[in-house]
Amino acid sequence: MGVMRMKSLAEYCRSYTNLTAMQCELLKRMSVCFPFVADLTHAHVVVYAAAAEQGKFIVLSHDKPHTIFSPVELAAPGTMVSMIEEPLISYTLRTGKPVHGKREWTLGSSLDMHTFAIHDNGSVIAVVSFESSGEDSRINGYGQLLETARLVLINARKKLERDMYRSISSSDGIIITDKNNRIIFANLAAVRIYKVLGAANLIGCHLFDRQLTMHITKETIASNRPYEKELQAGGLVLLQRNIPITEGGVLQRRVVLLSDVTEVRQKDKEILIKSAVIQEIHHRVKNNLQTIASLLRLQARRSRSPEVKAALKESVNRILSISVVHEFLSQQDGEHIDVVEITRNILELVAPNMVDSEFKLETRFTGPDIILPSRQASNLALIINELILNSLEHAFGQQTRGLIGLDTRVGEQNYFLDLYDDGSGVPADFDIRRAKSLGLQIVRTLIVDDMGGTFTLINDRGTHARITIPRKLEEEAEG
């Protein structure tokens, strides 16, 4: 027995069998339902095809059930198996007939095997084997599960909606009806759910019987999933997945899956309420900051000292830059903010107060968006505010126009920001460590000490403030 490197079902089929391209495509299309039927039957679902190598099978796929714990280890996809070692698979491949038998798994332990043929134009192209422990296959109604799985496999020859055939969890209720919508199987989870709704017996009931539907107070169709809806019934919130299995347009069986999402929806509701409260807090903080800025503006107008006026004006701009962050947070659900949007808003807020009305200021933004947690974004708002103020105050002199831009880049370890202008640049002997500017001291302290990043000012046809911010800050905030 030899194992090849992991490939897709279609690759194994094309490379190691004599099946046609259309037959390989048929098996690929059917594979959408293999995990689903494994969950439905509590069985390992293994698909075999005759290999190009004489006397060998190749395992095309192997799906384990999610609805039970199974310590069983069976052949992995890509495994070559001698036909002599698989008499049940060989029988079904040769005759096209289903067969039930046993496989020895470990010494003294065996698995129940049910095999079904996959046909194409009258010839058998593959065999599906359902393999489960005797305990799992002896549950009441297991035959109905197996027959339903067989019908699903037949139905899967046409294109299926993948999302409707997604995995089933061990806590999901499973109900199966016949072609007349009479319930022929219900697992224990489904029975427990309907007991809460006052229905004691499910087998034999019509799925849409008044006894089963009387407690439903609200239905919501999931618009992106045509056969899925949410039900509110008896204090429960249930997600119902309704899968009709048809042949020639006629209903053969119906599989109804019920997930109790009561706790999930309650948590969703709590999160929405919490989010609304947080948004309101951010809105009030923003209003309070703007009120403080207004008071400082009044104080500045009353002062006769140019130094006091300038200091108050700087304070107003710093406060307003922080208010921009809270304005963003008050308008969105998350606690993360786009750095580019912050920069754009600060420029719109600060520039009119700093430059002459005749001055033409051009802004430019290049590079990817950088999304930071709110705490880091608040720091960055202050940093950007100080650097923009610095450019507007010192870069352009007597010029009538100027450019301020932001270039962003995302590395594996760091974010890189280059906030620049096309002004006169910094003096040749400039040393940021000896700079007496309060604004630059704030910038350096926030970037280096608080955020663990780096900050440099260089001349390159204007002044470039180059900032690096470790991406680990993002992980710490999310943790």
Q: What is the mean pLDDT of the chain?
A: 84
Share of the chain above pLDDT 70, in %: 90
Q: How many CB atoms lie within 10 A of CB 422?
A: 20
Final residue of a structural domain among 260, 290, 324: 260
d(CA 439, CA 36): 62
Final residue of a structural domain among 260, 280, 300: 260
Quick check: is 312 in a domain?
yes
More confident residue, 261 or 118: 118
Residues 6+ away with beta carbon under 8 Å from 137: 42, 43, 112
d(CA 365, CA 276): 32
d(CA 261, CA 43): 26
Q: Are residues 368 and 253 in the same domain?
A: no
More confident residue, 326 or 41: 41
Question: How many domains, the chain?
Answer: 4
What's the pLDDT tens digit per position in 126-155?
999 999 987 767 788 889 999 999 999 999
Rg (CA), the chain: 34
394 neighbors 457 (Cβ within 8 angstroms): no
- CATH number, position 391: 3.30.565.10
Quick check: is 423 in a domain?
yes
Q: Are residues 255 and 365 in the same domain?
A: no
Q: Are residues 3 and 135 in the same domain?
A: yes
Quick check: is 374 in a domain?
yes
Q: Are residues 34 and 136 in the same domain?
A: yes
Q: Are residues 395 and 478 in the same domain?
A: yes
What is the pLDDT, as a whole number, of residue 4?
46
What's the pLDDT tens digit per position in 210-269?
766 766 666 666 555 557 888 887 778 888 899 999 888 899 999 999 888 888 878 877
Asked if residue 2 has pLDDT above 50, the reply is: no
User: Among the residues of 42-110, which ranges form H helices?
Assistant: 87-95
Positive or negative torsion for Cα 433, 437, 440, 441: positive
What's the pLDDT tens digit per position in 422-464?
988 877 777 666 666 777 888 888 888 888 899 988 888 889 9
What's the pLDDT tens digit per position in 385-436?
888 888 888 888 788 889 999 999 999 889 999 999 998 887 777 766 666 6
Q: In the structure, what pLDDT confidence band is assigned to residue 3 with cuts at 50, 70 and 90? A: very low
Q: Are residues 6 and 142 in the same domain?
A: yes
- CATH number, position 20: 3.30.450.280
Can you say how many angstroms the Cα of residue 360 is from the centroid of all Cα atoms in its chain? 44
Q: Are residues 195 and 149 in the same domain?
A: no
Q: Are residues 190 and 275 in the same domain?
A: no
Quick check: is 342 in a domain?
no
Quick check: is 165 in a domain?
no
d(CA 458, CA 420): 9
Quick check: is 468 in a domain?
yes
Q: Are residues 134 and 8 in the same domain?
A: yes
Residues 6+ away with beta carbon under 8 Å from 196: 234, 235, 236
Q: Are residues 437 and 315 in the same domain?
A: no
Residues 6+ away with beta carbon under 8 Å from 254: 176, 177, 181, 207, 242, 243, 244, 245
Q: Are residues 3 and 150 in the same domain?
A: yes
Q: State the helix-helix crossing angle for 306-330 and 339-354, rounded to 10 degrees.
A: 150
Give the least confident one: 5-14, 169-178, 212-221, 293-302: 212-221
Q: In the structure, what pLDDT confidence band is assigned to residue 1 with cuts at 50, 70 and 90? A: very low
84 neighbors 55 (Cβ within 8 angstroms): yes
What is the pLDDT, as a whole number, of residue 51?
95
d(CA 144, CA 184): 7
Q: Which two structure tokens, joined as six digits, stand for 54?
A: 């004489």
What's the pLDDT tens digit per position in 193-210?
888 777 778 888 888 877
Full DSSP string of 131-190: EEEHHHHTSTTHHHHHHHHHHHHHHTTSPP-GGGGPPPPTT-EEEEE-TTSBEEEE-HHH
Domain of 234? 171-260
Q: Give the total residue count for the chain.
A: 479
Quick check: is 339 in a domain?
no
Quick check: is 44 in a domain?
yes
Final residue of a structural domain among 230, 260, 290: 260
Q: Are residues 151 and 275 in the same domain?
A: no
